[in-house]
Structure 1
């Protein structure tokens, strides 16, 4: 049997940087690879509450516009024999969003879709970015995907 873990959430931040839409990637200290924001749900948090907290902890971004990206990251973590299923959120930030990293990351970049896909090591990440770009940059997000953060 392969256990399923659904206790992690992830989010892709989008901001207009110097007039162009970009997504935020950060370089993890552990592993040294580029990624988007992700983290575990704590206590009785809802998924959306966890990603809002994780964004603030990892980047100091105070999330004000949050969307359910309608995408599940999924991958098999062979070394621990766990199937990870991770709901993805999109965070629409104001133009030229500042970022202050915590100790989990050594660097960050605001990048376009093509650059994002060349930086990340995992095929699943590239699928996430294609999906988010198509539904939040190339097209306006559906109001039905907006998360009520009250």
Structure 2
């Protein structure tokens, strides 16, 4: 048997930079790969509360507009013989959003879809970014996907 675990969430931040929509990717210290925000759910938190905290901790962004990405990242962890399922959120940021990285990342880039997909290492990331771009950039998200964070 292979157990399925869900104890983390992730979030993709979008901002308009000089009139063009961009997606935030950051280079992790641990592993040296490019990724979006992710983190472990702490006791007493909901998934959406976790992503707001993680986005703030990792980037300095204050989340004011949050959406359910209607996407689950999933992958097999061989060392633990488990399947990880990670719900994805989308954060719309103000234009020209500034970033203040914490010690988990060495650098960041606001990227076009093609640039982000060229930087990331995993096929699942590329598929996620295609999904986000289609449902949150090329098309407006449904109001039903908005997370009420008040």
Short-chain TM bin: over 0.9
Unaligned runs of 5+ in 1: none
RMSD: 0.6
TM-score, normalised on structure 2?
0.98
Unaligned runs of 5+ in 2: none
SS of the residue aligned with 2:147? Answer: coil
Q: Distance in 2 between matches of 1:62 and 1:93?
A: 8
User: Alpha-carbon deviations, 1:49-79, whole Å to 9, x = none?
Assistant: 0000000000000000000010000111112
Q: Distance in 1 between matches of 2:65 and 2:40?
A: 20
Q: Distance in 2 between matches of 1:103 and 1:80?
A: 26
Name the residue aligned to 1:89: 89
Q: How does 1:92-111 map to 2 (within 5 A)?
A: 92-111=92-111
Name the residue aligned to 1:125: 125
Matched, 1:51 2:51: yes
TM-score, normalised on structure 1?
0.98
SS of the residue aligned with 1:44? Answer: coil
